[in-house]
Amino acid sequence: MKPEARKYLYDMQKAVRLLHQFTAGKTIEDYRRDAMLRAAVEREFEIIGEALGRLARVDASVAAQISEHRRIIAFRNYLIHAYADVSDRLVWNVVETNLTVLSAEVDALLSSADGENA
């Protein structure tokens, strides 16, 4: 795996871990009431989407191993460009339904890459 690809995966891994930390024990009602939490969650999703977009340009075959990679990049674009219309329900749904899968896939790719260098 190219060093740049690994860097983008590490960036994604860090953002996913922060998302888990920020949202642990929280509900959508907590999310809606807390502007700082919303800003932090959206920022980490933006980082994930940007890193994944860069990964796709550097090593498309690695990016393709992440389910829904195109939708993740599109979600980043939605957060950035449609910021005034961002749905709290949509963002929270992504936290609840997609984050665990993404985390497992990124961790597996990094483990595989680390195994290449062993």
Ramachandran sector of residue 63 (left: φ over 0; alpha: ψ -120 to 50; beta: rest): alpha
Q: What burial class does residue 36 get, using C-beta atoms within 10 Å of its C-beta: 0-12 exposed, 13-18 middle, 19+ buried?
A: exposed
CB 100 within 8 A of CB 20: no
The token pair at 102 is 């993404």
The verdict on pTM exceeding 0.85 is yes
Residue 85 has pLDDT above 90, yes or no: no
Tens of pLDDT, residues 8-27: 999 999 999 999 999 999 99
